[in-house]
Every structure is written in C-alpha cells, then in structure tokens.
Amino acid sequence: MKILCLMLLPLSLAGTSQPAPDLKIAEVVIRNISVLDVTAGAWLPHRDVIIRHGKIAAIQPAGSPLPASKFTINGNGKFAIPGFFDNRVHLKGFDRTTAAQFVAYGVTSVWDRGTDATRTEEWKRDISYGKFMGPRIVRADAAGEPQKEPALPGSGAGATSAIAIGFHDELAARVRQSGLTAAEVLRSATIDSATFHGRGLDLGSIELGKIADLIVLSGDPLVNIAHTRMIDAVVFRGETLTRAHLNQLLSHAGLQPARHEQ
C-alpha cells in the first residue's frame, strides 16, 4: 500500500504543474468576437478578449474559462478593431465638451497641429486624469506641418470643421481614390500611425499587454470600409463606452449620430 502511494505521488505533482487559467476579476470581457490582426489584414474569429488594468490581459479562443468581469460585451457577429489615430487635428477648434466626439467616433488618439503648447499639455494631463473625455494626444506640433511624414490618415478637424466624423470620410476616400485595400487603410490608421509616433509597443493593435483602446463594430470594415462608422461600443483606456454612452457624448457636443451609426 505504501508503494502504491509513492507511485501515485509523482502523477499528482505532475497534474498540478499545468498553469491554471487566470480568473482574477476583469474590468471588461468581450465574448466571441472577431479580432482584427491589423498587420496581417485578417480576422481572428471567435475570440474572447479579457481586459484588466486598462490593458489586454488575454485573447483566447471563445469557450475557454472566463473570469468574472465588471462589464461583459457580447461580441457574437461583431468585429473588434484598434482605436483610430487621426494624424491631422487642430484641437484649438474644440473645447472640453466637443473634444469627446473623437472618442465617440472611435478616434482614441490624435496628433495635434498648431495648438498652444500650454493648452495641449493641460488637456493631456486632464484627459489622463479623467477630468473630461477626449482623445489621447500622442504628439503635438506647435510649429505646423512637419517637412517629412508618411501618408497617414488625418481629417483636419478643427481647422475647417469642428466635426470629427470627417476622419471616416478620409478612410473611405483613401480606399476609393488611392487603390489601397480596406485592410491597408486600417493598418495605416492604427499600427502604422502608432509606430510613427513611437507608440507601436503599447498602441495600434489588439495584442496581449497593449493598452485597451479598441472599437466594437457591427459591420465588417474589410468588406466595406464604410462599416467603420457602425460603432457598437468603444473601449478607451480600459473603460467601456456603450452605444448609449457614445450617443450621450455626441449629444453633449451638440451632435446627433447619423442613422447608420446607431
């Protein structure tokens, strides 16, 4: 009998050597969604995305064990893409209320052009502390347009128009006029922009360990780039903004969502 116990002991120890799933409570769990690999330009279907402390904690096949979460998104039939970078924004054309529309339209990061540096730094600080809703300011250029810059999407919002939805028009125009595919345009508006701004290691794609800036769409933008407007929810800095929240942000900015955005 003693021999049998000794023989079973190694088997028991071996059974406990496998890593257990991390089931600590999460801020957000997105269940059974297609996640865009922006580098490959292809979908990773049927994935569960777990977000903790504002970052992507796991991307795993749907049906795997899931932790309890403060908020759960049903991603069935929906598509997750990284938050957009708008590389040509004039924040001086916005105020602390109207700036929220960038996030409502899925633009989570911007490159500001020509706004007073003191105001820009104040906005960066207050947005990071949650004092008001606005996009992440990844770079500010007080001197105007740089001499050399890759062809990155930018709306010019704030210079001639105070409406951030123009960024989606820019995406559609690039597909229509440049001969680029929707996948190439989406890559330019996400990981390529993040890399250009020196943020490719923490922004621009939905990957393990990166900041959880992402958009949940109800339509496939690889099939039709106009589906980037079909925003069901935005996760910004790990916080979930449902369609109702996004509509409220637009309402406070004096805007109404277009029919295809609802």
CATH number of the structural domain spanning residue 171: 3.30.110.90
What are the beta bridge partners of residue 142? none
Report residue 115's pLDDT band, with 50, 70 and 90 as the boundaries.
Answer: confident
Lowest mean pLDDT among 5-14, 117-126, 130-139: 5-14
Distance from C-alpha of 86 to C-alpha of 66, rounded to nearest angstrom = 34
CA-based angle 56:45:229, to the nearest 5?
75
| pLDDT over 70 at 20, yes or no | no
Mean pLDDT of the chain: 88
Instruction: Specify if 136 maps to a domain.
Output: yes
Instruction: Specify if 37 maps to a domain.
Output: no
Residue 150: predicted pLDDT? 65
Instruction: Specify if 199 maps to a domain.
Output: yes
Report residue 16's pLDDT band, with 50, 70 and 90 as the boundaries.
Answer: very low
pLDDT in tens, 131-175: 999 999 997 775 544 445 667 899 999 887 788 899 999 999 999
Q: Residue 137: how many CB atoms within 10 A of its CB?
A: 21
Over range 203-225, report the average pLDDT: 98
Q: By residue range, what is the domain housing residue 182?
A: 82-261
Instruction: Specify if 161 maps to a domain.
Output: yes
Report residue 2's pLDDT band, with 50, 70 and 90 as the boundaries.
Answer: very low
- Cα 207 to Cα 52, 57, 89, 152, distances in angstroms: 13, 9, 26, 21
Instruction: Specify if 139 maps to a domain.
Output: yes
Q: Residue 238: how many CB atoms within 10 A of its CB?
A: 19
Q: Which carries the bigger pLDDT value, residue 177 or residue 259?
A: 177
89 token code pair: 């924004």
Over range 13-38, report the average pLDDT: 75
Q: What are phi and psi of 255, to 5 degrees?
A: -120, 160
| pLDDT over 70 at 44, yes or no | yes
Instruction: Specify if 67 maps to a domain.
Output: no
Instruction: Specify if 23 maps to a domain.
Output: no
Residue 18: predicted pLDDT? 44
Q: How many domains does the chain have?
A: 1
Instruction: Specify if 70 maps to a domain.
Output: no
CA-based angle 248:140:199, to the nearest 5?
85
pTM of this structure: 0.88
Residue 151: predicted pLDDT? 76
